Amino acid sequence: MGILEGMKVLVIGGGGREHALVWKLAQDSVRPTIYCAPGNAGTASLAVNLPIAAEDLDGLLTWAQRERPDLTVVGPEVPLCAGLVDRLMENGLRVFGPCQAAAELEGSKVFSKEIMQAAGVPTARSAVYTTAEAALKGIQSMGAPLVIKAEGLASGKGVAVCMSLGEAEQAVRECLVEGVFGAAGKRVLVEEYLEGEEASVLAFVDGKQAVLMASAQDHKRIFDCDQGPNTGGMGAYSPAPVMTSARLELIQREVFDRTLAELRRRKIEYHGVLYAGIMMTANGPQVLEFNCRFGDPETQVILPRLEGDLIPILNACIDGTLRPEMVRWSTDPCVCVVLAAAGYPGTIRKGDAIRGLAAANALPGVVAFHAGTRKEGDQVVTAGGRVLGVTARVAGLPQTVQRVYEAVGLIQFEGMQCRHDIAARALKRMNGK
């Protein structure tokens, strides 16, 4: 596909991942006009925000039929799993993201596990249950620790790491008796617990091949030293030192190549981003889960390290013409610290004024990506659980960590929460500890 004068790009979603996508797309040499649905206070400075929710497939289709964007990039998993890509493509539109059948890799943990097992992808032993009685017998026979997963999409909350049988029994009851996750919890996956260090490996996929992105490591727990409840992610850094070049080559062959081959065998072509959550165990890499889109907050540390234009890569994924040399990475590390609202990850407070954004963004190498924000007059206020992803990319990991926390120190809002140990594991590795 040639360069388009006056190119229009639609980005779907309203979180930190989408702000990072808009930010990177805005730097493209074709200087596209960008629309973001629904966007946030950060995307508003780079794109035209549209009052259409990411889950409003009819509204998105109506707008796209009328405005005919040259490229649509779907951020969140819900519209992908609901078949938005299929509907847009049926109307002759170019879309970056997997079709509904391919997005089942994230939409159904049972389907994902079936694909992995059929393809010979290394992953935890597991069993599927539809009744509490059968599941409770199953966990007794497997023994703790265990991981209990609701099958469907549960906004990142459908996975319980259970160190005791009592915890596992409670997680099973929440899914299959109490219906905490609704339809997403009608089936549960009971998995063996894997020990090791976790990291995220994402790839651009063009239907035939996967080109790996720079590795990243997320921090899920709300408090320092991995304490407290799980969240959507409290920060990330890239690259993840645990992912050596030899390990990445192994993951390319045993995870991505095998998965894509099995999907093709089933007549499913995958185009877009494929995200593998990997646990590095004593027995090598094991896949914890697949996601069918860019991660959040991993995108905020991966895209700032991508050199050159993003649009040609996205178009090549759509057209099946992706080449490894199209994807180049800066050697500078990148670190993102998430600033969360009061009460997160539980009941949050909204509407608190955010101060210090301009000062933080003025620091060299720093971008404060907006996630849960909105404009109220001249003020930016909190509007979600994860409010900002303060990100820095400079030479050297210690310097990058220092810079990102310098930026964090300039931002204030009532009840602000953040972790103070993002990238600490990587720093320890550098120091030989």
Residues 149 and 215 in one domain: no
Question: Average pLDDT for residues 201-218, to the nearest whole number?
Answer: 97
The CATH number of the domain holding residue 221 is: 3.30.470.20
In a domain, 77, yes or no: yes
Confidence class of residue 433 from pLDDT cuts 50, 70 and 90?
low
Q: Would residue 292 count as lying in a domain?
A: yes
Which domain-ending residue is among 123, 155, 186? 186
Tens-place pLDDT, residues 363-395: 999 999 999 999 999 999 999 999 999 999 999
Chain-centroid distance, C-alpha 224? 21
Q: Any bridge partners for residue 150, and if so which?
A: 188
CATH code of the domain containing 33: 3.40.50.20
pLDDT of 4: 52
- Note down the domain range covering 24: 9-97
Whole-model pTM: value is: 0.95
**What pLDDT shows up at residue 158?**
82
pLDDT at 248 over 60: yes
pLDDT of residue 177: 87
Contact (CB, 8 A) for 281 and 192:
no
On whether residue 143 sits in a domain, the answer given is: yes
| pLDDT at site 113 | 95
- Which of 97, 121, 154 delimits the end of a domain? 97
- In this predicted structure, what is the pLDDT of residue 2? 43
- CA separation for the pair 49, 234 (Å, rounded): 26
For residues 413 and 345, the answer to whether their CB atoms sit within 8 Å is no
**pLDDT of 3 above 50:** no
Are residue 373 and residue 316 in the same domain, yes or no?
A: yes
Is the pLDDT confidence value at 155 over 80? no
Q: Are residues 291 and 166 in the same domain?
A: no
**Together in a domain, 306 and 368:** yes
Question: How far, in Å, CA of 286 to CA of 412, rounded?
Answer: 40
Using CB atoms within 10 Å of the CB of residue 2, give its burial: 0 to 12 exposed, 13 to 18 middle, 19+ buried.
Answer: exposed
Compute the distance between CA of residue 236 and CA of residue 259 in angstroms, rounded to an integer. Answer: 26
Query: pLDDT digit string (tens) for 11-50?
Result: 999 999 999 999 999 999 999 999 999 999 999 999 999 9
> What CATH number is attached to the domain comprising 165?
3.30.1490.20
Query: pLDDT at position 357, please?
Result: 98
CB burial of 337-375 (b: ≥16 within 10 Å; e: otherwise) equals: bbbbbbebbeebebebebeebeebeebebbbbbbbbbbe
pLDDT of 141 higher than 50: yes
Of 163, 186, 209, the position where a domain reaches its end is: 186
Q: Is residue 119 part of a domain?
A: no
Average pLDDT across the chain, whole number: 94
**Per-residue pLDDT reduced to its tens digit, 308-327:** 999 999 999 999 999 999 99
Examine the domain organization and report whether 157 and 205 are in the same domain: no
pLDDT of 5: 60
Do 279 and 405 fall within a single domain?
Answer: yes
Whether the per-residue pLDDT at 431 is higher than 90: the answer is no
Could you tell me if 76 and 152 lie in one domain?
Answer: no
Q: Are residues 317 and 367 in the same domain?
A: yes
In this predicted structure, the answer to whether residue 229 has a pLDDT above a threshold of 90 is no
**Are 239 and 361 members of one domain?**
yes
Is the backbone of residue 343 left (phi > 0), alpha (psi -120 to 50) or beta? left
The reply to whether 425 and 349 lie within a common domain is yes
Pair 303, 338 in one domain: yes
Give the residue, 341 or 187, on which the prediction is more confident. Answer: 341
**What is the average pLDDT across 297-301?**
97
Give residue-wise pLDDT tens across range 99-120.
Answer: 999 999 999 999 999 999 999 9
What is the distance between the alpha carbons of residues 399 and 393, in angstroms, rounded to a whole number?
Answer: 9
Within 10 angstroms of residue 433's Cβ, the number of other Cβ atoms is: 7
110 within a domain of the structure (yes/no): no
Q: Are residues 316 and 172 in the same domain?
A: no
Q: Number of folded domains in the chain?
A: 3
The percentage of the chain sitting over the pLDDT mark of 70, rounded to a whole number, equals 98
Domain membership flag for residue 3: no
* 338 in any annotated domain: yes
Per-residue pLDDT at 272 exceeds 70: yes
- The whole-number pLDDT of residue 263 equals 98
Q: What is the pLDDT of residues 333-349, one digit of tens each?
A: 999 999 999 999 999 99
Residue 125 lies in a domain: no
